[in-house]
Amino acid sequence: MLDPKRIRHEEESIRQGLLNRYFGVDLLETFKIKDKAWRNALQELEQLKHQQHEQTPKGKPSEEILSKLKELSETIKEKQAIVNALELEVEEVALYLPNIPDISVPLGKSDMDNQVIYEWGDLPHFTFSPKSHDEIGESLNIFNFEKASQLSGSRFSLSMGLGAKLERCLGQFMLESHSEKGYVEVAPPVLVNSQSLRGTGQLPKFSDDLFKLESSDFWLSPTSEVQLTNVYANSILTIEALPIKLTAFTQNFRKEAGSYGKDMKGLIRLHQFPKVELVQFVHPDHSFQALEELCGHAEFILKALNLPYRKVLLCSGDMGFSSAKTYDLEVWMPSQGKYREISSCSNFLDFQARRAMIRFKFEGKPYFVHTLNGSGLAVGRTVAAILENYQQPNGKVLIPDVLKPYMGVDSIG
């Protein structure tokens, strides 16, 4: 959530930031109207309380004074209810306002305007036409999308044998790598409540892309960013505790409405998908440095697996709702002849911390931390990238060297 004081005192920069996101400013105007009404009502309430204080006698009051004080007390109670209601209205509007892009974010409307920072690794050269990962997986009998569809419907996968093992080993390798870099491993629940989703920005705006359990306040988590960030919701940390780094390997759930084409097949866009998540809580002065570090931790996995990728800085119109700056890491997919997103690393500044009330204390005063998160990595997409980049003419798939001790085999097939 944006700082209301910033909205009031930096209205033009907030307006321009929203326009840079192609978000529009209607909601900003609504916020201004409701915020003014709330502040006016609050001022009237304070005046009434001051009046009550001034009229309260030091000695024994007369019946007439008692009657007036009682009437004034009722008026104050009614005005307090109005102030509380208006404050909730202001907060509800603020929950729909996105974060403002950092000055270093390039202006643009879509992914066509994103900036490639650099490319890493040599693209594989094949003496044959490379197959897609879903074709490879089904021919090796390590995927069975038909059975998954019978069990749950479309956009689900069923991994078997060395396919299931590859997924598990990748998760273990990623967790161990990140733990060596100072992340604390967490095994969180996959059901989260509405308050947790509001804290990270998924609610109220993106409820249509989430799975909710009927007649409850439980939702299937769309990303363990939700659980990891909310570990410290409503907390005041010590400055000495920062930075805090958490990681988790979880199943995640999204409706993926609107995706189509090649994404309808394989492991790219599923309703349920495994992912290793990275979350950091840092001092506000260090969050952009931390973003480069966190992105580097995700890149370390791609380099260790020797998967060609590129680092992309997202433009203002392509960033997520809560982010102030985002890098995407895109891995090379030979069957498509292009790079596809495998990690998104973002700095949210104090946007999530305000919603979740995550603060630290410095010289006796509380300040909001800055939060960051990124995939380290999306495990299903990493499986897909390995199958495509390591496929052989005889139909086998080689195992990346770093995974051989985990897998116990040199190849699949």
pLDDT tens digits for range 41-52? 999 999 999 999
- One of 3.30.930.10, 3.40.50.2300, 2.40.10.120, 3.40.50.2000 is the CATH number of 111-412, namely 3.30.930.10
Q: 233 pLDDT exceeds 60?
A: yes
Count of beta carbons in the 10 Å neighbourhood of residue 280: 28
CATH number of 4-94: 1.10.287
Q: Which of 344, 346, 359, 388 is catalytic?
A: 344
pLDDT tens digits for range 155-196? 999 999 999 999 999 999 999 999 999 999 999 999 999 999
Active-site residue flag, 269: yes
Q: Mean pLDDT over residues 358-382, rounded?
A: 97
DSSP state of 153: -
| Three-state secondary-structure class, residue 281 | strand
Cβ contacts of 316 within 8 Å, gap of 6 or more: 20, 21, 22, 101, 105, 106, 107, 108
Q: Which of 44, 256, 341, 411 is catalytic?
A: 341
Count of beta carbons in the 10 Å neighbourhood of residue 76: 16
Cβ contacts of 282 within 8 Å, gap of 6 or more: 242, 243, 244, 290, 369, 370, 371, 372
Backbone angles phi and psi of 361, in degrees to 5: -105, 130
Active-site residue flag, 179: no
Q: Do domains 4-94 and 111-412 have the same CATH topology?
A: no
pTM for the model stands at 0.94
Active-site residue flag, 323: no
Q: What is the pLDDT of residue 258?
A: 62
How would you classify residue 80: left for phi > 0, otherwise alpha for psi between -120 and 50, otherwise beta? alpha
Asked if omega into 124 is within 30° of 0 (cis), the reply is no
Q: Mean pLDDT over residues 343-365, rounded?
A: 97
Backbone angles phi and psi of 226, in degrees to 5: -65, -55
Backbone angles phi and psi of 236, in degrees to 5: -120, 110
Q: Please, what is the end-to-end C-alpha distance for the chain in angstroms?
A: 50
pLDDT tens digits for range 267-314? 999 999 999 999 999 999 999 999 999 999 999 999 999 999 999 999
Q: Are strands 309-313 and 325-333 parallel, antiparallel or unpaired?
A: antiparallel
- How far apart are alpha carbons 49 and 47 in whole angstroms? 5
Contact 132, 340 (CB under 8 A): no
Q: Nearest-5° angle of CA 249, CA 169, CA 309?
A: 80
Q: Which of 354, 355, 359, 381 is catalytic?
A: 381
Q: What is the pLDDT of residue 175?
A: 98
Q: Mean pLDDT over residues 238-267, rounded?
A: 87
Domain spans of the chain?
A: 4-94, 111-412
Considering only CA atoms, which of 231, 196, 1, 17 is closest in space to residue 94?
Answer: 1
Q: Which of 155, 198, 254, 354 is catalytic?
A: 254
What the block records as the tokens of 117 is 């920072």
Contact 115, 330 (CB under 8 A): no
DSSP alpha helix (H) spans, 181-219 = 194-200
Q: Which of 21, 155, 269, 340 is catalytic?
A: 269
